[in-house]
Amino acid sequence: MKVIVCGAGQVGSNIARHLAAENNDVTVIDQSPDLVRKISDMYDVRGMVGFASHPDMLESAGAADCDMLIAVTFYDEVNMVACQVAHSLFNVPTKIARVRSQSYLKPGWANLFSREHMPIDVIISPEIEVARAVNRALHVPGAIEMLPFAEDRVRLIGVRIDEDCPIINTPLRQLTELFPDLSLFVTGIVRGDRVIVPSGDDQILPGDEVYFVVDTLHVSRAMPVFGHEEKEARRVIIVGGGNIGLFFARQLEHDHASIKVKVIESSRARAELIADQLTKTVVLHGDALDSEILDEANIRSAEAVIALTNDDEVNILASLMAKQQGCVKAITLINNQAYGSLISSLGIDVVVNPRATTVSSILQHVRRGRIRRVHSLRDGAAEVIEAEALETSSLVGSELREIHIPDGIILGAIVRGDDVLMPRGDTVIQRHDRVIIFAQRDKVRTVEKMLSVRLEFF
């Protein structure tokens, strides 16, 4: 597949890395010679310096026979115009644009991006994606990650394992015997820097991060199995009233009226602006690193602090101060992946990375086959894929015990209509079933082939 990526920032470079690793023909355009040189040196991509929305630049990049254009520059307008030019002049089949300004995304302006006006096939909003990720983490207490699949019939949940977890040192194959009425399946274990796709003989150890697929109706029963019985937060403090903080506070007001929300914002003008736009939320003007402001917000009685400023250091320190003063849970927005390895040791419960959420949103439109949803885990070390099983797939029509599924790939769940099935040796996948698959990075291409044609064809 031939792809043009407009923008060599964090999101653009990560998309280019993913695509180049899978042997796609990738060209990256950016105005910064330094960024273009860096991405060309690091990955097998073609780098070009110039304006991504200019027709002559897109022509030089190969837009005439391009399969997809992904516009993720810093500027919304450049992204939108690049898609318009790609459509009008070069008839590029698929155009994806990152749009940050919520003004463009109001429901009343939805027709703006229609084929007749500004033809963008997929719009990615980091603010909306991050707010949704935070919302999911907040409402599954004890989870470090929660992802819904198949219209939320199934969830992938990530948890940290402590010493008091009741199933430590238990072979995973015994979980079915111990919990016969519980529909869950362990699909991944992160141990140190390794992502393990486990077999039935593997065991869970203290310090592991475990990812399991579970019937959504069984989540409340599944969490105690992994040692988590935390209560859902009802008193929440949001640090940062920017686009993400405001969007999330609105979401809480609309969907969870029983939750008491306070926002701490350092800019007086911004604090006044968001106070006018929120109806039930208390907005405090001040520095979240000031203990007096935290006292005024009554941080000691808060059950969750959610740090969403544009400054990673402020988010980390505010979260640690809140935890030190008695706040139960800290959800922290971090852009710099270098901080990731430090977080769990510091005591922060959940990290949300805008880059990772945006990359995941884009990947589901890149993957081949009847892909419904994709989520990238651990900076791309693994992916969770929801797909429709086609009649030509090697997964369809035989018992799972008879199908060769390579190491590094595991089937987590099957959704058939309203029924959620956990995979067993005698399970037979039928055409049009939804399948949830967990795969290590280097096995994603194999998954795509398994979903599209029978294995004997390649």
pLDDT in tens, 394-415: 888 888 888 888 889 999 999 9
**Mean pLDDT on 259-285:** 94
The rounded distance, in Å, linking the Cα atoms of 2 and 97 is 17
Q: What is the pLDDT of residues 48-89, one digit of tens each?
A: 999 999 999 999 999 999 999 999 999 999 999 999 999 999
What is the distance between the alpha carbons of residues 289 and 309, in angstroms, rounded to a whole number?
A: 12
pLDDT tens profile 297-347: 999 999 999 999 989 999 999 999 999 988 989 999 988 777 766 776 777
Six-digit token pair at 457? 């064809």
**pLDDT number for residue 319:** 93
pLDDT interval class at 431 (50, 70, 90): confident
Please give the CATH architecture assigned to the domain spanning 357-457.
2-Layer Sandwich (3.30)
Tokens of 70: 């992904």
Class of domain 235-352: alpha beta
What architecture does CATH give domain 130-226? 2-Layer Sandwich (3.30)
Rounded Cα distance, 318 and 298, in Å: 14
Distance (Å, whole) CA 344 – CA 299:
21
- Please determine whether the domains at 2-124 and 357-457 fall in the same fold group of CATH: no
Domain ranges of the chain: 2-124, 130-226, 235-352, 357-457
Mean pLDDT of 173-177: 90
For the chain, how big is the Rg over CA atoms in Å?
23
Q: What's the pLDDT at 449? A: 78
Mean pLDDT in the chain?
A: 88
DSSP designation for 8? -
d(CA 174, CA 406): 22
One-letter identity of residue 122:
V
Identify the CATH number of the domain defined by range 2-124: 3.40.50.720
pLDDT in tens, 152-167: 999 999 999 999 899 9
- Strand, coil or helix: 167: coil
Alpha helices in 257-311 (DSSP H): 268-277, 291-296
Cα–Cα distance, 162 to 223 (Å, whole number) = 13
User: What pairing do the DSSP bridges indicate for beta strands 184-191 and 194-196?
Assistant: antiparallel
